[in-house]
């Protein structure tokens, strides 16, 4: 059956806006969740809130050894949804080298560490599905002029996921990228009070797209699925 019931899926940034929606959708489907976040307490609160089988704990995704240890503790892994990332604005001439370093570490290095670790395990156990969050401007080239370093870092995320799909496809491991526009999240509503959020991307839409890519019967691989909103 094309179901996630009983399958173990790791979710990074599990207590964040997108991460919690993904975890909730997985629990509703009967999946087992390995929640990776910044603190054990945050993961414990998430587990108490969602019920189901939610385990996990703190993990610094910038630390490759910490990622390996966390996934070793998780057990046989079917899926990974990598939601961790950061944003800084600034044009190419307005951004600083520190901005670039920050974005490469938070967006690219974390993706490299966790996707590499998950891919290695999935190839050895006979299959799996990997999903990461990209960015719509990194795909379309439109609307990213005020965040040049951010868009460049998300373009690197897309390249890493496509490489993972190429390496894993022979072992039934597929990797895909979700590229949403502006998310309808509390932080964005607060930062842009004059904007109309009806055109933004609902968090649940991102979670639904992630679950579609995670399903065992999904033949999607190496794809960038855009979620532009209304």
Q: What is the pTM of this model?
A: 0.95
pLDDT of residue 182: 85
Q: Which residues contact 146 (CB under 8 A, 6 or more apart)?
A: 89, 90, 91
CA distance 137 to 37: 26
Beta bridge partners of 36: 12, 57
pLDDT of residue 143: 67
Q: Please count the residues of the chain.
A: 230
pLDDT at 185: 84
Q: Which residues are CB-contacts of 18 (< 8 A; sequence separation ≥ 6)?
A: 83, 133, 183, 203, 206, 207
What's the CATH fold of domain 8-227?
A: Rossmann fold (3.40.50)
pLDDT at 186: 84
pLDDT tens for the 230 residues of the chain, in order: 589 999 999 999 999 999 999 999 999 999 999 999 999 999 999 999 999 899 999 999 999 999 999 999 999 999 999 999 998 888 999 999 999 999 999 999 999 999 999 999 999 998 999 999 999 989 987 766 788 999 999 999 999 999 999 999 999 999 999 999 888 888 888 888 888 888 899 999 999 999 999 999 998 999 999 998 76
At residue 84's C-alpha, the angle toward residues 174 and 71, to 5°, is 60
C-beta separation of 167 from 214 below 8 A: no
């Amino acid at each position: 059956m094309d179901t996630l019931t009983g399958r173990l899926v790791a979710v990074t940034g599990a207590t964040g806006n997108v991460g919690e929606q993904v975890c909730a959708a997985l629990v509703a489907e009967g999946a087992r969740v390995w929640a990776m976040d910044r603190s054990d307490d945050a993961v414990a609160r998430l587990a108490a809130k969602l019920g189901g089988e939610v385990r996990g704990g703190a993990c610094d995704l910038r630390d490759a050894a910490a990622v390996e240890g966390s996934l070793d503790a998780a057990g046989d892994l079917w899926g990974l949804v990598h939601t961790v990332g950061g944003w800084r604005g600034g044009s190419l001439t307005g951004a600083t080298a520190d901005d670039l370093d920050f974005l490469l570490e938070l967006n690219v290095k974390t993706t490299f560490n966790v996707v590499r670790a998950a891919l290695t395990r999935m190839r050895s156990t006979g299959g799996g599905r990997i999903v990461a969050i990209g960015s719509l401007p990194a795909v379309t080239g439109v609307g990213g002029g005020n965040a040049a370093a951010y868009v460049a870092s998300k373009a690197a995320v897309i390249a890493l996921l496509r490489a993972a799909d190429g390496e894993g496809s022979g072992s039934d491991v597929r990797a895909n990228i979700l590229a949403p526009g502006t998310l309808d999240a509390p932080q964005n509503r607060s930062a842009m009070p004059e904007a109309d959020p009806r055109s933004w991307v609902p968090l649940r839409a991102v979670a639904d797209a992630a679950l579609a890519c995670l399903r065992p019967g999904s033949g999607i691989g190496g794809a960038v699925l855009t979620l532009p909103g209304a």
